[in-house]
Amino acid sequence: MSLSTSTNSDAPARGATFVRSRDELRAALAAARAEGRSIGLVPTMGYLHEGHLSLIRAARAECDLVVMSLFVNPTQFGPNDDLDRYPRDEERDLRLAAEAGADLVFAPPVEEVYAADASTAVEVSGPLTGVLDGDAGRRGPEHFRGVTTVVAKLFNLVGPAVAYFGQKDAQQAVVIRRMVRDLDFPVRVEVMPTVREADGLAMSSRNAYLEPADRERATALSRALAAAEGGARAGSLAEGLDSARAELAAAGIEPEYLEARDAETLEPVERLGERPVLVAVAARVGAARLIDNVLIDPTNSDT
């Protein structure tokens, strides 16, 4: 099946081809590949918001052909995760993706991605996937194994020159960079800034789970990160983290974690030195588990 989004005469003529199978994907990419056109890939789980659209726009600005994948990847969800209730709206996603500049949307069913007897996974081992969200008491390293496996498969299926990810999922970006380096994927990884609501809340498909009162409380996460950065720059990282904890506590939020780590190695850090530091937070707010982070670059005071 291959549908095209409709275009109307007022809007710029923009349509996206929509495919569900690997064969259709290959066929749709064949001409671009033969002509040596650069392919940009934006992997998503759909229910698009401005964060996703910023990645598509970045790909549009740099690449000849922009592919967005839309796949709620079951292997990155744990048994108690929200796979069954993950929000979906494929029709809207297709329209928004096309408007933002996607040429091709690949939205496969699960059985198109994983054979029933699939027995191979791609795993980044060690501290990158064992800390923060990868801690065994949280989502665990299996979460990242699901992510790297599906991203490796998408790289093989699409063959992008550039793949776009969001800083919102900072640990995921670090893990994917390591996979690309370790396995020599011929892909450049671009990590784009976190897009936020006007009140600071990082955009996330999971924000849809928030009841109005929890939506209000959730703004404490970005305030906490701003306090962490302000405190770290003005005094010490420890003071910054204390202020962040106080912001969360004032909103009645007990974080799953609030930690400062080296932005590349994810080793714990005690104080700002020369290398960028990632302050990352995860917390349950009402029905949503939210994550957010700030990157503190000590060599640049206006980040």
Helix 90-100 vs helix 50-62: angle between axes, to the nearest 10 degrees? 40
Nearest residue to ligand AMP on Cβ basis: 166
Q: Are 72 and 93 in contact (CB under 8 A)?
A: no
Q: Strand 65-70 and strand 39-44: pairing? A: parallel
Considering only 168, 178, 215, 217, the residue that binds ligand AMP (CB under 6 A) is 168
Instruction: Give me the least distance between CB of 59 and ligand AMP, in Å please.
Output: 12
Contact flag: residue 195 with ligand AMP (CB under 6 A): yes
Q: Is 49 a catalytic residue?
A: no
Contact flag: residue 214 with ligand AMP (CB under 6 A): no
Number of helices (H) and strands (E), helices first, in the chain? 10, 10
Which listed residue (17, 52, 158, 223) is catalytic? Answer: 52
**Residue with token string 């969001």:** 166
299 vs 59, 272, 274, 282, CA distance in Å?
A: 28, 10, 7, 26
Considering only 165, 228, 232, 261, the residue that binds ligand AMP (CB under 6 A) is 165
Instruction: Give me the least distance between CB of 271 and ligand AMP, in Å please.
Output: 28
Count Cα neighbours of 227 within 13 Å in the Cβ-side half-sphere. 20
Site string for ligand AMP, 9-38 (x = CB under 6 A): ------------------------------
Contact flag: residue 52 with ligand AMP (CB under 6 A): yes
Residues lying near ligand AMP in the complex (CB under 6 A) are found at 44-45, 51-52, 54-55, 165-166, 168-169, 192, 194-195, 202-205
